[in-house]
Structure formats: structure tokens, C-alpha cells
A and B are shown apart, each in its own frame.
Chain A
């Protein structure tokens, strides 16, 4: 490796550290400080407010459902992309990345158009069948799942590509059917990538705001998730509650990141 002069190294380090502190560290620490200015009162008050508790429960429930959906479909899509060949495969692969590049607001609007009662045909049909998508938890789950769709796929696909199909073929020649091969061979081989993708999906789902705001209608105590509640309380000058809930969301994300960092080396060592 080429030797860089100590001055260059020092400058680079300083720039990176200052950048991260200004952009991430300082603002987040202010949220923590704002939460605990009066000790634990802000947190305690927030957690006894039924609207806040409802929004937290809704957020967790939505995140879990969206993550479950994306885990099942993510693994399915990954297997399809890696192990089969079909026309339009590249197009599908590109489509999967779409949620990363499209603004969540657009996603929200798209869902309103597709599933809303004034939509083309599917929405009205659903409404007729008694299934509410808009202004209901189902719509929030859909919007959240859309936004976090690529995370599992993008973790699992490279690992599937790397392990190849020799082990699968060996299992087949030993008498295993597709399901047995999946449970006993494929799933154990991709488990760390899958865990990593699931944790990322969960973290992303807990924090989704834009798409959810549009499809949920932001009805307090009915369709208001934690992120929406933070925004509303902030605008209503209930800063203590806004900061407390924001702190809870940030704490869960930090926990997720810590978990992932802890899993990363295990992921590498497993192979």
C-alpha cells in the first residue's frame, strides 16, 4: 500500500469526523438531550398518553407485517432471480430497485391511485368487497412493504450467487425434494444474509414517513404511526412528546444497527 503523508491522513480524518458530527452525531444527540432535559418525565408522560402508545403499537405491528411480507417475497424473488432464467429478468431486477430511487411520497400517491375507492377498478372492487386499504392499517403495511422491498433481496442475491447450485443438486440426487432442499440446504446457507436483510427491513419499516403519511390519512388513534405522531406533536408545540417518541425511534434504529454490526463478522466467518 502507498504511504500517505501524516498530514493528508490527519486532514482526511478531521474532515470525515467533522462531517459526521455535524450531519449525524450532533443533531441526534440534541434529540437525546431534549428528551431528557426534565429527566424521565417526558418519556413517562409520553408512554402514558394513549395516543402515543397506540401509535407505537401500530408502528411495531406494521413494521413486523411489512418485514414478514418482504422476508417471504424477498427470498422467493431472490431464488427466482438467481436460479431461473426467463425473459424480462433484468427488467424485474431493475424494478426491485425502484423503491430505493423513487420518493416515498410518489409511492404513497401510487398506492392511493391503485387501491383507493376512486381508483381504476381494483380499488373500487376491494371497497365493494369490504376491504379498506386507504386510511387503514392494510394500506400502511402495503406502503411500508413497498418502500423496504429491495433490502432483503439485495442482501440475499449475492450470497445465492456465490454458493451456486452444486449443493442443491447434490441434495436432489440424494433424494431430497424442492421443499426439503430449501429448508435443509438453501436456507441454512443464506441465513446470515437473510438475518441482515430482515434487520435492515425492520429498521427501515419502523422509520417510514412519506408514503405512510399519504395512505394513512394520519387519523389520531386509528392510523397514526409513531413517525406521523412525532411530526404532528412537533407542529402542535408538544415538543416534549415529539422528542420522546423521536428518541424511542432512534434508539430502536441504533439497536438494529448495533445488532447488524455484531452480525457482520459472524456473517463472514460462517463461510
Chain B
């Protein structure tokens, strides 16, 4: 295990950011700390980096106790949401910073900076100032800067949070490829479940200062430990007292013979791209929120259900459901 956090607790005044958290992060993998804002995931990352100290608990990095080591001794690379570019330095100088601090010979610095700028596709911007780069380019520069010192772990705090949707998606794929090329142990914080599912080898779900579940993206999706994890990884809806994913609900226009089902009325049909979303008010539970069902456009057309239709719902066979 590359990073071991044991019983970390952190309070800011009355607010408990981390409540006795223990996490092991495997070597060489890309791990996501996933959770809602204010859930403590950034605090956990900053404690690993030494930018924040836990009130109690311990941190070890590659088997070495780092609990009382200051940030500059931990040899971690840290990438900030808002880039934290050194504005008065050129891109090349930014990347060289850590090496200059370590008194690396000039020639070696030049080679390493060249190599890294090529890796992040910024070689033609070496002499520019960060202010002349786009957000995505600045974040790649920040990554090169963090990687330059060959850190034992790379930590990224909502690295794509400040970028627009398209650039975010590009950088996400690019980070995955980069990690396959440079397999340094990487931990990134995100509140975007799609980002975590797509990029990470392993996901740690953090909520209200506690770890809810740790596992591979498939584990988490197929076997969520609780309602929070299930709800956070994708939309859920309620059907006959169970939580179920909206695409795991089967819809019938006649009561299905020999199968238990729940009758309801479609109160709204909404098309979003290739998907059709039906809100169904169930008979017998008038005050409950309507059950949401998602169908593909083709399924919806075959079914012919529209607002006002009466339908029967049941969870698909093998659908994952949790008690409400």
C-alpha cells in the first residue's frame, strides 16, 4: 500500500470535516476520492499532502511515517483546482521550480523540463507566461510541474473542476492515458461520479467525514454498500418500497400476466436526447414523489406510453434494489 491513512480526524471549529477516517491507497493505481462538496474528501487529500494537519490519526507514504513531516519533505506532487500557476514565471520556469529548489544541475533541468513539456503537449509554449494559456493548458502545466520532481504520489484536488465540460472530458481521457504511461500512484478528488467511474481504478466514496465504501467502479455500481453510494453513483427512484435505478424498471401497458406489478399513471414524459424519462404516479400512494423510469427512444416508441397513459411497473429481473 502506497498511502495509509489511519484514524484521521479533523475539525474546523464545530464542523467535523473528517471523522476517524482510515484509508489504504494501492501503489501505482489511479484512485478517486468521490463525494459531495463539503464531505471531507479535499481535506483528506490535503492531509495526505501535508498542507493540512489532522487533529489526530496518522499518515504514512510508501511505508514511511509522514504524520509530522511538513509538506516540502513529503515528496508528493499536488495539483490544485485553480492551477496555482506561478504567474510571474514562464511555463518552463514553472515546471523547473521543484528541480531548482532541489539544486538539480542546469543541464538536467533543461532535459527534464523538455521531456515533461512534450509529455503534456506544451513544448511550444515553454516561454509563455501562464496568463497566455487556456485553463486546460494551465492545468497540464501544473501537472508537468508536479511530475517534474518524480513524486512518490501525485495528488489532484478537483483538477478539472474549473474547466468547461468539453475540455474536462478531454483532460479526463488524457489523464487516464498519462497514468498508463507514467504509472505513479495517483489520487484525485472529484464530486463527479461519471469522472470517477470513467477514470479511476479504485473509488473511495467519502461523505460527511466518513468513508462510505471502497472498491472498483464495477463493485460500487453493482454492489453499493448503502443507499447513499447507490444514489451518488447515478440516479435512483423508489418503487414498491425499494430503491432501484430508473433504467432497471420495466414498463407495461397491460398488467403483466403472472408477475407482481404496480399500477400508475404517467404524469410527465420528457425526452432528453436518446432517452425518454417517464414520471409515473403510483396508484395507492398519492402523496409520494412519482417514480422515474428511463427508456430508450426506441423502447418508448414501441411502448406508446405518453402523459396520461396508465402503465404497470416492476423492477427488471436481476435489477439491483435496496430497501428504502
A residues lining the B interface (CB < 8 Å): 166-167, 169-177, 180, 184-185, 188-189, 270-271
Contact = CB atoms under 8 A, between A and B. Distances in A.
30 contacts: A166-B84, A167-B84, A167-B87, A169-B51, A169-B71, A169-B78, A169-B84, A170-B78, A170-B84, A170-B142, A171-B86, A172-B51, A172-B71, A172-B72, A173-B51, A173-B71, A173-B78, A173-B146, A174-B72, A174-B77, A174-B97, A174-B101, A174-B146, A175-B72, A175-B102, A175-B149, A177-B72, A180-B101, A185-B86, A270-B88
A172 B86 CA distance: 12
Interface of B: 49-51, 70-78, 80, 82-88, 97-98, 101-102, 142, 145-146, 149
Nearest to B49: A173
Given A170-B145, A174-B72, A180-B101, 14 more contacts: A166-B82, A166-B83, A169-B51, A169-B71, A169-B80, A171-B86, A171-B97, A172-B70, A172-B72, A173-B51, A174-B101, A176-B97, A270-B88, A271-B87
Contacts of B85: 167
Nearest to A176: B101
Contacts of B82: 166
B70 A173 contact: no
A167 B97 CA distance: 12
Nearest to A166: B84
A84 to B, nearest CB: 15
B72 A189 contact: no
B184 to A, nearest CB: 14
Contacts of B97: 171, 174, 176, 184
A260 B172 CA distance: 46
Contacts of A170: 78, 80, 84, 86, 142, 145
Contacts of B98: 174-175
A156 to B, nearest CB: 16
A174 B155 CA distance: 12
A174 B149 contact: yes
B80 A174 contact: no
A166 B80 contact: yes
Contacts of A172: 50-51, 70-72
Contacts of B78: 169-170, 173
Given A166-B80, A170-B78, A176 B51 contact: no
Contacts of B51: 169, 172-173
A46 to B, nearest CB: 44
Contact of B88 (A169, A176, A180, A188): A188
A171 B50 CA distance: 13
Contacts of B49: 173
B156 to A, nearest CB: 12
A209 to B, nearest CB: 39
Contacts of B76: 173
A54 B244 CA distance: 90
A189 B80 contact: no
Contacts of A167: 84-87
B128 to A, nearest CB: 16
Nearest to B73: A175
A270 B74 CA distance: 33
